[in-house]
Chains A and B, each alone.
Chain A
Amino acid sequence: MPLIGALVIKEFQTWLRGRLTFAAFALLVLLVALMVFLLGTLILAPDANAAPALFSTTSTTSTNILVANRAIFLFGAVGLCVILAAAVVAPAVSASAFASERERGTLDLLLLQGPGPARIVLGKVLAALVFSLLLLAVGIPFFAPAWSFGGVQPDQVIAMITILCTVTLFFCALGVFFGSLFKTALPAALFAQGVALFLVFGTLGLHLAFAILSGNDTFRPLLWLNPFLALLSGGGNATDTFARGAPAAFRSVLSLPPQSWAPGLLLPAWVIGSLAWTALAVLLVVGAAIAIEPTHPLKGSAKRQAAR
């Protein structure tokens, strides 16, 4: 895989020399800090001295559940912020990195290196993934308050890291895919961000709108692709209890039950989501590879049809 390694190194050499990178780092720190502050206030504000619900025999209100599990909710809140940042940053980074190759005319240079378009696309996706994760690493210090409360389990950390890596991979593939379709970086980045934000907010909104207005469940399958809900499913008992305490219309949405895919194999929503994002990322890589290969047979048949 020489081309992939070369691309990753080259991308870092160019990105790390640009002032824009440092501006992006600074902006991201500020944005994540602001979001974490706001969500942290929401979680910690209710009543810091309330008796934890886990030790209460009477109260199971949302407030008590929040207070009792403030560590896990704070942990999840920071996770939400980082995923939201990923939905904005990763598609933009990858789309502009790829579209700019076309703008500069260097896509031909990459194609001429021989190993094929799939490796070019894969190299770009991996470079953008590593770079985006590096950018998102600015969120790590914000997890500190959650740790200080205690109670976050290793499986919840694993779920969070898996979701973050796979959904960022999908966002990067999305960016590269649109970068391969558009001739300039701006529309490619905007389209990719649009789809990423639809995944984060749109899937939830679309399902809720149809469910509440017409009792229609058509868009429910899209919820499995929502990273926020996947993150919630990784919260274990605390988020399940929280979902049960939510209003009826939101209850089924907030708790996506584990699915049995094989005898004895029960997959939680975050695993299903991670597998789906990875599979979609592979499809997008294949699509982008076809889009950039000028000699691909599909392009020949499209050209012949256009000629007719």
Chain B
Amino acid sequence: MVDHVVRRFGARAVLNGLSFAVEANQAFGIVGANGSGKTVLLRLIASLDRPTSGRVAVHGYDTLRRARAVRDRVGYLPEEPMLYDGLTAEQYLQFVGRARGLGKQVRQVAVDTLLQVVGLDERRWRDVSSFSPGERRRLALASALVHEPDVLLLDDPLRGLDGFARLEQIEVLRELHRLGSTMLLAATRPEDALEICDTIAVLRDGAIAWKGDDEAAAALASPQQAGLARVRAEVLEGIDEVVTLLGQHRDISELEVDEDGRTVWFLFSGDREALAGLLPQLLRAGASVSHFGIERRSPAAAIARLFHEGSG
């Protein structure tokens, strides 16, 4: 539970009155742009930082007054895996288990199981300095699970992973969620959170700007009224002319240009013939258009648009 939390660094408020609660067994995704305060939030929940004001509690334990109780209950996977180069994967997990006070037999079972779960069983005697970024992340995840935490705090667990490594990590996290883990996952890419979480919240200007589940995200991507079509145009030249022309059209609303300065989105309320007549108008106005058509925005793209909307 995060209650009116403010975290300032000097004059800058990274978190500004943030409040939300995560239910047991829920996979809650916090998405936001770089520097939006996701990592700060996770560190506050893991009792690795103090809020300037407000209160954070895990399972009812205040992170300031009962830091040890909180740390016993959370497993934290940071953005950069915290590993000791010079130790093997086996030695590293043995160290974490020993530090957690697990007995020798329990520890060995935990290490064997976790190495299998994260797919590093055959690499257990390799020095972690020789691990790929994906393997390092999976080993760090295993270390966060050694003490069977009640709450998993995952800071961009899919960052830098692609292809098979990404799919593997997603599968591991989904399986953990299926087994009943409560997760709080921070991600810069909304699609990462959508893969794993059942609830997503957008962190912007230090507070929750939007919150919803998969369906709400899909709705966010769809036009708000029946009879509207979302149109995407890729403009190679003459973007100003295109924006001027479209801005004057009575059937067009929610005209937006992406950050790339080439992609134009708008909602069109007219019929198909009227839409088909738009392209020749754009070409006559001197624009060079490489793509023009009706498109659904993906839920991830719709969420990503919220990162900057309305922010100063």
B76 contacts A114, C-beta separation under 8 Å: no
What A residues does B78 contact at CB under 8 A? 105, 108
- A3 to B76 Cα, complex, angstroms: 18
Listed A/B pairs (19) with beta-carbon separation below 8 Å: A3-B101, A5-B98, A6-B99, A13-B95, A109-B143, A111-B71, A112-B46, A112-B71, A112-B74, A112-B76, A115-B68, A293-B67, A294-B47, A294-B49, A295-B63, A295-B64, A295-B67, A300-B64, A307-B8
Cβ distance B228 to chain A, nearest Cβ, rounded Å: 48
Contacts of A293 in B (CB 8 A): 67
Interface residues, chain A, with chain B CB atoms under 8 Å away: 2-3, 5-7, 9-10, 13-14, 17-18, 104-106, 108-116, 293-295, 297, 299-300, 303, 307
CB distance from B225 to the nearest CB of A (A): 48
Contact, CB under 8 Å: B71 / A300: no
Given A299-B50, A300-B64, A307-B8, are A10 and B80 neighbors across the interface (CB < 8 Å)?
A: no
Residues of B within 8 A of A295 (CB): 47, 49-50, 63-64, 67
Assuming the contacts A13-B86, A295-B67, asked whether A303 and B50 have C-beta atoms less than 8 A apart, the reply is yes
Cβ–Cβ contact A6 & B86, under 8 A: no
Nearest A residue to B63 via CB reads A295
A131 to chain B, nearest CB (A): 14
Q: Mark B72-116, 1 if CB is under 8 A from A, else 0.
A: 101010101011101100010001101111100000000000000
Interface centre among A6, A9, A114, A303 (most CB of B within 10 A): A114
Q: How far is the CB of A17 from chain B (nearest CB, A)?
A: 5
Shortest CB–CB separation between residue B139 and chain A, in angstroms? 12
Q: Is B52 an interface residue (CB 8 A)?
A: yes
Q: Judge whether B48 is part of the interface by a CB distance below 8 angstroms.
A: yes
Taking A2-B99, A10-B87, A13-B86 as known contacts, 10 extra A-B pairs with beta carbons closer than 8 A to each other, sorted by chain A number, are A6-B99, A9-B98, A13-B91, A106-B84, A108-B76, A112-B46, A112-B48, A295-B67, A299-B50, A300-B64
Contact between A114 and B72, CB atoms less than 8 A apart = yes
Q: A2-B99, A110-B99 are in contact. Are A294 and B84 (CB under 8 A)?
A: no
Residues of A within 8 Å of B64, CB to CB, are 295, 297, 300
Q: How far is the CA of A109 from the CA of B142 in the complex (A)?
A: 13
Chain A, residue nearest B72 (CB): A114
Q: With A115-B68, A295-B64 in contact, do A108 and B100 touch (Cβ < 8 Å)? A: no
**Bound-state Cα–Cα, A5 to B76, Å:** 22
- Smallest beta-carbon distance A264→chain B, Å: 45
- The distance in angstroms between the C-alpha atoms of A108 and B42, with both chains bound, is 12
User: Are B99's CB and A18's CB within 8 A?
Assistant: no
Rounded to whole Å, the gap between the CB of B100 and the closest CB of chain A is 6
The answer to whether A108 and B91 have CB atoms under 8 Å apart is: no
Give the one of B49, B96, B99 with max A CB within 10 A.
Answer: B99
- How large, as a class, is the contact surface on chain B? 20 to 34
Contact between chains at B99 and A106 (CB < 8 Å): no
Given A2-B99, A113-B96, A307-B8, A14 and B84 contact (CB-CB distance below 8 Å) = yes
A299 to B49, CA, bound (A): 10
Q: Which chain B residue lies CB-closest to A306?
A: B10
CB distance from B117 to the nearest CB of A (A): 19
Closest 4 A/B residue pairs (Cβ): A6-B98, A2-B101, A6-B99, A109-B82
Nearest B residue to A14 by beta-carbon distance?
A: B86
Q: Which residues of B sit under 8 angstroms from A109, Cβ to Cβ?
A: 82, 96, 143
B86 near A18: Cβ-Cβ < 8 Å: yes
User: Which of these, A5, A14, A108, contacts B87 with CB under 8 Å?
Assistant: A14
Mask: chain B, 56-71; 1 = CB below 8 Å from A; 0 = not: 0000000110011001
Specify which chain A residues have a CB less than 8 angstroms from the CB of B99 in the assembled complex: 2-3, 6-7, 110, 113, 115
Q: Which of B67, B82, B96, B101 contacts A108 (CB 8 A)?
A: B82
CA distance A3 to B100 in the complex (A): 7
- Name the A residues within 8 Å of B50 (CB-CB): 294-295, 299-300, 303
Q: Roughly how many angstroms separate A211 CA and B82 CA in the complex, as a whole number? A: 53
Q: Which residues of B contact A115 (CB under 8 A)?
A: 68, 99, 101
Task: Verify B87–A13 contact, CB threshold 8 A.
Answer: yes
Is there contact, CB below 8 Å, between B80 and A105?
yes
Closest-by-CB residue of B relative to A17 is: B86
Q: How far is the CB of A35 from chain B (nearest CB, A)?
A: 31
Report yes or no: B82 in contact with A113, Cβ–Cβ below 8 A. Answer: no
Residue of B nearest to A300 (CB): B50
Contact A303 B86 (CB under 8 A): no
- Given the known inter-chain contacts A2-B101, A105-B78, please indicate yes or no for A113 contacting B71, CB distance below 8 A: yes
Contacts of B76 in A (CB 8 A): 108, 112
The residue in chain A whose Cβ has the minimal distance to the Cβ of B62 is A295
Q: Given the complex, which residues of B lie within 8 Å of A7, measured CB to CB?
A: 99
Indicate if the CB atoms of B82 and A106 lie closer than 8 Å: yes
Query: CB-CB contacts of B1-40 with A at 8 A, as 1s and 0s?
Result: 0000000100000000000000000000000000000000
Kindly list chain A residues whose C-beta atoms are within 8 Å of the C-beta of B95: 6, 9-10, 13
